[in-house]
Amino acid sequence: MQVIRTVAELRAWSRQAHREGKLLGLVPTMGALHAGHASLIRAAAAACHQVAVSIFVNPTQFGPHEDFSRYPRTFDADCAIAEREGAHVVFVPSVEELYPHGPISTFVEVPGLSDRLDGHSRPGHFRGVATVVSKLFIAAEPDQALFGQKDAAQVAVLRRMTADLRLATEIVVCPIVREPDGLALSSRNIYLSPTERAQALTLSRAVRRVESLFASGERRSDHLLATAREVFSSEPAVQIDYIALVDWATLEPIDEAKQGSLFAVAAYVGSTRLIDNVIFP
């Protein structure tokens, strides 16, 4: 497995692979890789001849009081996981490499969607995500880019972005990987104390309750959302950021749930913000 640090080298690798008629898969990450990331890399290796994993803690998607500086950075362990799961390249640029004129740069905006769900709670977050993913797509020109359903709103933003920019990259979405007790894997789970780790299960409990209510035939948004709120009320230490039932493509609230609708939650457990969701099957 090759470690690449510059956009020029990534572009050269991609062009060579395309000249050889190979399909390229890209898995964008912020590192601190866990089994969720591993599942994306595995899926990429199964579908593509060449796989690149990018590891970049992107400053433009963090708010001024968020955890950019303390975000876990575990490069050696990340490389071992990427290689084990079948990656051919790890792309690990510096901030200066991706933002040569500093983080006040040319941005990619996805109006409307960018202000919903996590974008509402974290102003500027999706602008940072869309910008950095555009840079990766322009440099690597992947045939497929793989993302986790865990960040379902991010997927909606990036799908709209690739459609609007007429990019050739196909966005592939992989299922949420969970701990045996239901907690969605997240690089931020390491911030949780043992007590908070137990409280964090409120998110997956709410998701499961809403999922089973939908399965039993309930479609009314107000009822589904009330049920989720009830689950959260049993754990007052967990602060709801949002609970939402939306159209997955537009992220707009809906009155009636249907197949493919997104139910999503975000909540603070102590100072750690966690998210979870279900797309109704």
Site string for ligand AMP, 13-32 (x = CB under 6 A): ----------------xx--
Please report whether residue 225 would count as binding ligand AMP according to CB under 6 A: no
Residue with tokens 């959302």: 225
Q: Angle formed by the axes of helices 221-233 and 201-215, to 10°? A: 150
- C-beta of 279: minimal distance to ligand AMP in Å? 13
Among positions 176, 244, 269, 279, the unique one binding ligand AMP when judged by CB under 6 A? 176
Among positions 116, 127, 135, 150, the unique one binding ligand AMP when judged by CB under 6 A? 150
Q: Is 125 an annotated catalytic residue?
A: no
Nearer of residues 58 and 221 to ligand AMP, judged by Cβ:
58
Rounded CA gap, 186 and 38, in Å?
12
- C-beta of 135: minimal distance to ligand AMP in Å? 15
Number of residues engaging ligand AMP in binding (CB under 6 A): 17
Please report whether residue 183 would count as binding ligand AMP according to CB under 6 A: no
Rounded CA gap, 95 and 71, in Å?
15
Residue with tokens 């390249």: 89
Catalytic residue among 34, 37, 88, 125: 37
Question: Hey, which residues between 184 and 213 contact ligand AMP (CB under 6 A)?
Answer: 184-187
Nearest residue to 60 (alpha-carbon basis) of 104, 92, 97: 104
Is 20 strand, coil or helix?
coil
Nearer of residues 177 and 225 to ligand AMP, judged by Cβ:
177
- C-beta of 219: minimal distance to ligand AMP in Å? 27
Q: Which stretch binds ligand AMP (CB under 6 A): 69-77, 171-179, 237-245, 263-271?
A: 171-179
Show the 3-state SS of 49-97.
CEEEEEECCCHHHCCCCCCCCCCCCCHHHHHHHHHHCCCCEEECCCHHH
Please report whether residue 43 would count as binding ligand AMP according to CB under 6 A: no
Please report whether residue 37 would count as binding ligand AMP according to CB under 6 A: yes
Q: Are 94 and 5 in contact (CB under 8 A)?
A: yes
Phi, psi of 81 (to 5 degrees): -65, -45
First to last CA, the chain: 37
Rounded CA gap, 191 and 72, in Å?
9
- C-beta of 37: minimal distance to ligand AMP in Å? 5
Residues forming contacts to ligand AMP in the complex (CB under 6 A) are: 29-30, 36-37, 39-40, 147-148, 150-151, 174, 176-177, 184-187
Name the residues annotated as catalytic: 37
